Every structure is written in C-alpha cells, then in structure tokens.
Chains A and B, each alone.
Chain A
Amino acid sequence: MSAAPSTAMQHGLQNCGACGLLSLPAPGVEKGHCPRCAEPVAFRKRDSIQRTWAFVIAAAICYIPANVLPVLTTTTATGTDSDTILQGVILLWSPTGWPLSLIVLIASIIIPSAKIAVMAYLLVTVQRGSIRNNEQRIRLFRTVEFIGRWSMVDVFVDTFTAALVQLQPLMSVEPGPGLFFFAMVVVLTMLAVESFDPRLIWDAASEQGVHYG
C-alpha cells in the first residue's frame, strides 16, 4: 500500500513555474516571488478557472465565423470564388491530394474543436471536484498542449497561397474574413491552455487523501 499523496501546497510550499524551485511564502506576503529567478509564485495559477473559461468561450464564439466565412477568395477571368475551410478541404480531396486534404481537415477542423471540447471538459470536471480518471485527464491536457500549435497550418497555407498567386489579370487569390476568426481561434485556444493549471486536476484527490500508485 502506498501513502496518500501529499502536495507542496499542503506543506505550504510554492513551486516556481519557471525554475522549479520550492519556496515558502513569507508570513503576510500576498504575492511572493521565487528567490532564485524572481518569477511571481503562487500555490496555483491566479484565477485559472475563470481565465481559462473566458478564453474557451471566446474561442468557441470565433469558431463559428471561422467556419462559415470564406478564408480565401480566388478571382479568375471567369469570376470570383470564395472558399471556407471545409470547402478548401473538399477542393484538395483527390486521388493524389487526399493526404494533404486530411492534414488540413485534422489541423483546422478536428484539432481546434477537440481542443475547445477538451478544455471545457477539464474545467467542468475540476469545478465538480472530480477525482476520477485523473491520469486520462492529465494525458488529454498534455495532448492538447502538444498538438495545439498545429492548428495554425491553414493560416500559413492561405497566407502563402495568397502571397504567391498574384497574377493579374489572369488570377489572384485574396485572404477572406474567415481567416481572421480562424487565427483568433488558434490564439485563444493556446491562451486557454496556458492559463489552465493542470495541478487543479489533482487537488480534489489530494484533499481527500486518495491513494495512488
């Protein structure tokens, strides 16, 4: 049988997020600093849940225009064509182009929506004080943290397509308004991950002295 986990917080110690040094806040000090690297330290990230919720909700709102508005507008001699992200995925889909189509589908549609859903799930379970599936939840968090940057792929695709295809009067490509909202989804979900404190996942278990190992 293993011992109940005891955390640094239960011992009154703060872990520096920048250099990892454990330190004890001086009595009566509201905002302590790490004595080694001077980073502000606290038991948990400040207002982590509220701030993460704000970023997640803002990202979810931007996700709608990001998918509905066109991200690219192509003008040729025969007329003007506007494509949303999903239309771009469909356009790329061909016997030879499907791997790239799949990359864009995963990076710009599946990753951002999964990230919003996972962060909301983590927030809800933390607020409920859940002590179940802690290991799976921390793994989910590490995964969204790790793959989140890849949702920028389509922003780069559209940027360089528009930068290159400027062949007036034959053809020109311009970025559409959807690109702004899509870029916002990427930034907001990254900020949501940054403001979330993974230690909150374990706090309920630590308080109840749940065994582990």
Chain B
Amino acid sequence: MSRSNEFYNRPVADLSLVSCHNCDLLQRLPPLASGGSARCPRCNEEIRRRREDSLHRTLALAIAAALLYVVANSVPMLGLTVVGREASTTVFGGAMQLWADRRDTVSALVLFTAMIAPALQIGFMLAIVLGALRESPRRWVGVLLRHHRLTRIWSMIEVMMLGVLVALTKIADYATVVPGLALFVLGALVFVLAAMQSGFDPDEVWERIEWAADADVASEAAGTVLPQA
C-alpha cells in the first residue's frame, strides 16, 4: 500500500449502503428510476433523487446563467431622477458606495454574496458539468463539487433582488425611480439559477469521478452486514 493511502478510509463493499446525512440511519438504497427519489424512513429527509438528463440540462442552464450574470453586472440596475438630477447604480456600485462610506466589512459582505459567490456558483457548476461529461472525469471535478455547496449557500442573488425592490419602493417616496435593464436580467437569473440547482444531480457526477484514493484502497472494501428489519 502506498504511503498516501494511509489517511484514506476504506469504502464499504456494498455501495447501495448509505446513511442519512440528517440522522445517520444506516439503510440500503433501492434502485432508483430516472426522476425517482428515496427518503429516510426515520426522519423523512430526501436521501437521493435521480434527475433526468441532469448533466446536459445543467450545462445549458449554467451557460444561460453565465450570460445573464455578465449582462446583469455590466448595465445599470436602478436609477432615480429628482428635480432634474439623475443617479444610477449597479450591484458593484452599491458595494463601492458602502466602501466610500467606510463600511468596509458590510461592503465586502455585499460584494461577496451578491457578486463573487454567484460567479463562483455558476463557474464551479460549468466546470463540474464540463469535466463530468468527459470520458473519464478527473479528480479536480470532485474538488470543485465538494466546495460547490458553500458557494450556493453564500450566493444570495434572490435575497438581493428582494432588497432592491424594497429599496426602490422606499425611495419612490421622494424621487422618481427608474428600474434599469439589469434589474430584469437579475430577475431572470434568479429563476435560471434555481432551475440549474434543482436539476443538478451530484450523485451522477460522483459515480463517474476518479477516486481520490488509489484503486487498491477502493477495491480493498470493507464488508458490513446491514441488520434486517
């Protein structure tokens, strides 16, 4: 056995054995048809769901999201006019104004959740799907997939949309508000991102990916007997 394999666990022999990530109940996963799902009998958490044609659909939606993202961040999002004066801003402009007002931490947080995390979410997804569609997906696909969950949690485009709408209504009391093109593009992006995420089947990618441990570790699987109910 090679030295690097010393810190890898041994997988169970029967790969249909799973445990619920919510309650750790050990169970055997039944074969799932495309579009089918399995729930934990103890806590009702969805253990697995098979998506139809997941990779190609996700790829199409990720490309659409990338284009919408670029447009949404390069044209004005909202503007206002009051007594002959005009002002407009973009997502980036909003964060920069905070920076100018010496609210660095909040500015960084807004920049991260409204621009950087969504860009990572889309970029990771594109790379994961493109990588997974290759003949034998490489390990870096798995590395991106491991971290994709975090980019999704911190990507808050839909929350920002709601915030912008509230801000517009607030400002409408003392100025004429002009919604910019980016606002509508962002609205579309919210839906495309949700569709991209819900149609994606990470398990399909995990099954195709090259294992991190050497083949001999993977084949030297541990046997575990699941007690019958």
Tell whether A104 pairs with B156 under 8 Å between CB atoms, given A35-B8, A36-B142: no
**B212: nearest residue on chain A (CB-CB)?**
A38
Interface string of A192-207 (1 = CB under 8 A from B): 0010001101110010
Set A37, A100, A155, A166: member contacting B110, Cβ < 8 A: A155
User: For B164, what are the chain A residues with a Cβ–Cβ distance below 8 Å?
Assistant: 156-157, 160
Whether B44 and A135, one on each chain, are in contact in the complex, defined by CB atoms closer than 8 angstroms, is yes
Stretch of A23-31, A53-61, A115-123, A124-132 that contacts chain B: A23-31
Total count of chain A residues near the partner, CB < 8 A: 80
Whether A24 and B19, one on each chain, are in contact in the complex, defined by CB atoms closer than 8 angstroms, is no
Least Cβ–Cβ distance between B43 and chain A, in angstroms: 5
Set A13, A36, A150: member contacting B206, Cβ < 8 A: A36
A110 close to chain B: CB less than 8 A: no
Interface string of B100-140 (1 = CB under 8 A from A): 01010110011001100000000000000000000000010
User: For B9, what are the chain A residues with a Cβ–Cβ distance below 8 Å?
Assistant: 14, 23-26, 29, 32-35, 41
User: For B113, what are the chain A residues with a Cβ–Cβ distance below 8 Å?
Assistant: 152
Total count of chain B residues near the partner, CB < 8 A: 81
Whether A6 and B26, one on each chain, are in contact in the complex, defined by CB atoms closer than 8 angstroms, is yes
B34 close to chain A: CB less than 8 A: no
Set B7, B109, B156, B169: member contacting A97, Cβ < 8 A: B169
Whether B162 and A153, one on each chain, are in contact in the complex, defined by CB atoms closer than 8 angstroms, is yes
Least Cβ–Cβ distance between A111 and chain B, in angstroms: 11
User: For A201, what are the chain B residues with a Cβ–Cβ distance below 8 Å?
Assistant: 23
User: For A203, what are the chain B residues with a Cβ–Cβ distance below 8 Å?
Assistant: 24
Q: Is the interface of B mostly helix, strand, loop or mixed?
A: mixed
Interface string of A170-213 (1 = CB under 8 A from B): 11001100011001100100100010001101110010000011
Least Cβ–Cβ distance between A81 and chain B, in angstroms: 12
**A203: nearest residue on chain B (CB-CB)?**
B24
Tell whether A180 pairs with B153 under 8 Å between CB atoms, given A35-B211, A163-B94, A163-B98: no
A134 close to chain B: CB less than 8 A: yes
Tell whether A22 pairs with B12 under 8 Å between CB atoms, given A29-B6, A159-B98: yes
A68 close to chain B: CB less than 8 A: no
B42 close to chain A: CB less than 8 A: yes
Stretch of B54-62, B67-75, B217-225 that contacts chain A: B217-225
Tell whether A33 pairs with B212 under 8 Å between CB atoms, given A156-B110, A160-B163, A161-B170: yes
Whether B87 and A166, one on each chain, are in contact in the complex, defined by CB atoms closer than 8 angstroms, is yes
Set B10, B85, B88, B163: member contacting A154, Cβ < 8 A: B163
Interface string of B141-168 (1 = CB under 8 A from A): 0110110010001001001101111110
Least Cβ–Cβ distance between B106 and chain A, in angstroms: 5
Task: Give the residue among A22, A92, A184 with the most B Cβ atoms within 10 A.
Answer: A22
Question: Can you list 9 A-B pairs, Cβ within 8 angstroms, ordered by A?
Answer: A8-B19, A21-B11, A33-B9, A33-B212, A153-B159, A155-B109, A156-B160, A162-B97, A164-B88
The 10 closest A-B CB pairs, nearest first, are A156-B163, A23-B9, A8-B19, A38-B212, A35-B213, A163-B97, A202-B23, A7-B24, A163-B94, A24-B222
